[in-house]
Structure 1
Amino acid sequence: MQVNPKNMKLTYANSVFHLLKPALLVFSLFLFAISASAQDEAEIETYFAETKLGESFNFNERTIHFKEVLVDSRCPSDVTCVRAGEAKILVEIFKGEKSLGKETISLGANVNSFKTSLAIFFEEELDIEFLSLSPYPKTSRKIKASDYQLQFKITETVKR
């Protein structure tokens, strides 16, 4: 019986491959498990708030304080205007008792909401969406500062 050396090499390579195949499979599963556990799990928390002028909304040791209506040039609802106008408000951001700064927000009359990131104030991923400023102007009444209410939504991505 003659043995062909070319066939022997192929048989040897096949046997080595068959021995390493389970080890490669286990190693691949191990790497997959490590990468899956290393990913941060994130949870989204949402807060809805309505505050009057001068009031604050507190959440997770943070505070959004509705300080002032700087401008309210929104077109009254009972008039047809060439320009829609806008409202500008001032909010102050706190973490604990410490003021982190003030932010001027512009709300357009033809825009339902205005979304901005508060990442400049916090390390966390935090967005605030200003939903409305009420009451909406009418020509028949003057809005007193104490009547203003700000509605907003805060979305925070919390990594666990």
Structure 2
Amino acid sequence: MQVDPGNMKLTYTDSVFHLLKPALLVLSLFLFAISALAQEESEIEIYFAETKVGESFNFNERTIHFKEVLVDSRCPGDVTCVRAGEAKILVEIFKGEKSLGKEIITLGANVNSFKTSLAKFFEEELDIEFLSLSPYPKTSRKIKTSDYQLKLKVTERLEN
């Protein structure tokens, strides 16, 4: 506020904006500091695995056991299909020595980046991504159970 000595009226000029600029600067710095603290509170740990049927993937007292391929109806790579097909696999989840349960995972023909949530079996926040099931079918060969290999990635958020 400023007083105009000529007619003694109170007039607002840029004084409101002069007060808001420092307040906005302080607010911005405060939000930036909170954001930085939030990022420091959690770390991400990533595990990659390649496991065959009958084998297990162990990570931080947890285990995903690749029990079997239930169905593999994916369209062979050397054929043009109307429907892409899918593969269904059975995994069993353990924490320590205790079985937490079994889960059937359905993988489409384009298995890349297929994400599933098996986090219900664990206390922590986990993202489990099935990267591939190989070998991919071809008409010229029959896949033996022992040839199947599952590639997966587990991302775990840890608190500091």
TM tier, smaller: 0.7 to 0.9
Q: Does 1:76 align with 2:92?
A: no
Shift of 1:114: 1.4
Q: Aligned partner of 2:48: which letter? A: F
Cα RMSD, aligned residues only: 1.9
DSSP-derived class of the 1:94 partner? strand
Q: What's 2:8 paired with?
A: none
TM-score (norm 2): 0.75
Structure 2 stretches lacking a partner, 5+ long? 1-25
Shift of 1:111: 4.0
Provide the residue aligned with 1:123 in structure 2.
123
CA contact (8 A) 1:107 1:113 kept: no
- How far 1:110 moved relative to its partner? 2.8
Q: How many residues align?
A: 128
1:77-135 CA distance string (max 9 Å, x none): 01110000000001111000000011111110034231112221111001100000000
Once residues 147 and 64 of structure 2 are traced to their aligned partners in structure 1, the CA distance between those partners, rounded to angstroms, is 18
Checking the alignment, whether the CA contact within 8 Å between 2:93 and 2:99 is kept in structure 1 is: yes
1:63-142 to 2 correspondence within 5 Å?
Answer: 63-142=63-142
Q: Tell me which amino acid in the other structure corresponds to 1:79.
A: V
Percent identical residues: 83
Normalising by structure 1, we get a TM-score of 0.75
The aligned amino acid for 1:93 is I
1:55-66 → structure 2 map (5 Å cutoff): 55-66=55-66
